Copies of this chain bind each other. A is one copy, B any other.
Amino acid sequence: MALRVGVVGGGQLARMMIAPAVELGVELRVLAEEPGMAASLAATAVGDYRDADTVLAFARDVDVLTFDHEHVPQDVLSALVDAGVAVRPGPEALRHAQDKIVMRTRLAQLGMPQPDWAAVSSPDGLQDFLDAHGGRAVVKTPRGGYDGKGVRVVGAATEADDWFAALAEDARGGALLVEELVDFSRELAQQVARRPSGQMRAYPVVETVQRGGVCAEVIAPAPHASERCMELAAQIGVTIAQGLDVTGMLAVELFETTDERILVNELAMRPHNSGHWSQDGAVTGQFEQHLRAVLDLPLGDPSPHAPWSVMVNILGGPAEDSLDDRFAAAMTEHPSAKVHTYGKAPRPGRKVGHVNVSGDDLDDVAYEARAAASFFGD
């Protein structure tokens, strides 16, 4: 009898679990938000992940429940655990991905290097932080932000007035997170897989290139990374995975500073855009590794099988342009490019796929990946 994994959320991360599930002989079931989503091939249910009864009914027949995103509310997660469902990652771990103040507090306890930060519940508190940090800082809403949403660089406390007003309306109350504006030279990401029984495997640290607050490109491994940087990043990933009891894939987004420090920026407790390169560039891709980890199966080898891999996201152009039309042209010019599509209607700025290229020479690999992806760009 095949093991059954339920995935809450029908987006591209769930979609990309389908291929390794077929290979491993795992039966994948997906609770999609609506019909026709990226993971619709495996969608066995459609419903609202914020409704406990819906998720409980979906989870009844699965061996393990995991996620396409971290937005399932804590009361729903608790109801699942109470009903005996194996929820991976569990509610306690997910709290750190759902609330950035909870995350910062816990990382401080673990001694993880991070930007200076504070939880501020009033413009006065924010102004104090600004005054102490050169007049500029990053303000974040603790909950609900992703891909640059809920993040704002401010030079005066008044620039967050609307968010403070929203806080006052929010029954959960709370505070905004303010962080030091880090003088970083580049952004890195460290992925670690962890099983409930404790086994962990770290992927090589990668460089992520953001444009407009959205991940545009990933280079694996991070070029010119020193031995010390690689070890430190892996150590940070392993410490957080263990310290927060993460199961499945963990991604730690990092800043590398001009003075050679590494600081934790964000966490994601699921397969992550920074790990898409591993689908074609590593012995065990992150989607297979996530399934193995949440099922508590032995983890696979995360080693790259080429010196360099580059992943370039495809952001959807105008809706009248079909992805298919550009596909043949990209395939003709770039036979070594691995194009992954998400089955999503193109829309400006929307991630609708990505391209992976691996090889011996970084310049060649990056050129091929960018050129292939450019066929699809806006």
Contacts and interface: CB of A to CB of B under 8 A. Distances in A.
B335 A25 contact: no
A138 interface: no
Contact of A18 (B18, B25, B331, B341): B18
A284 B343 contact: no
A2 B40 CA distance: 13
Contacts of A338: 23, 283
Given A300-B335, A301-B335, A324-B2, A19 B23 contact: yes
Interface residues of A, number: 42
A331 B297 contact: yes
A290 interface: no
A322 B322 CA distance: 45
A323 B19 contact: no
A188 to B, nearest CB: 25
Contacts of A332: 298
Contacts of A15: 22
A283 B341 CA distance: 17
A42 B42 CA distance: 9
A297 to B, nearest CB: 6
Contacts of A335: 283-284, 298-301
A306 interface: yes
A292 interface: yes
A294 to B, nearest CB: 14
A81 interface: no
A327 B297 CA distance: 8
Interface in A54-107: none
A347 interface: no
A19 B23 CA distance: 8
A335 B292 CA distance: 11
B24 A339 contact: yes
A83 B1 CA distance: 41
Of A300, A322, A335, A340, chain B has the most CB atoms within 10 Å of the CB of A335
A327 B25 CA distance: 10
Contacts of A242: none
A305 interface: yes
A52 B83 CA distance: 50
Contacts of A306: 305
A286 to B, nearest CB: 15
A22 B41 CA distance: 9
A335 B288 CA distance: 12
Contacts of A283: 335-336, 338, 358
A328 interface: yes
A191 B19 CA distance: 23
A27 to B, nearest CB: 8
Contacts of A336: 283, 300-301, 303
Interface in A283-337: 283-284, 292, 297-301, 303, 305-306, 322-324, 327-328, 331-332, 335-336
A354 to B, nearest CB: 10
A3 interface: yes
Given A2-B343, A305-B305, 14 more contacts: A1-B322, A1-B324, A18-B18, A19-B20, A22-B41, A23-B339, A24-B327, A41-B42, A283-B358, A297-B327, A297-B331, A300-B335, A305-B306, A305-B358
9 contacts: A1-B324, A2-B343, A15-B22, A24-B327, A25-B343, A41-B42, A283-B338, A292-B331, A301-B336
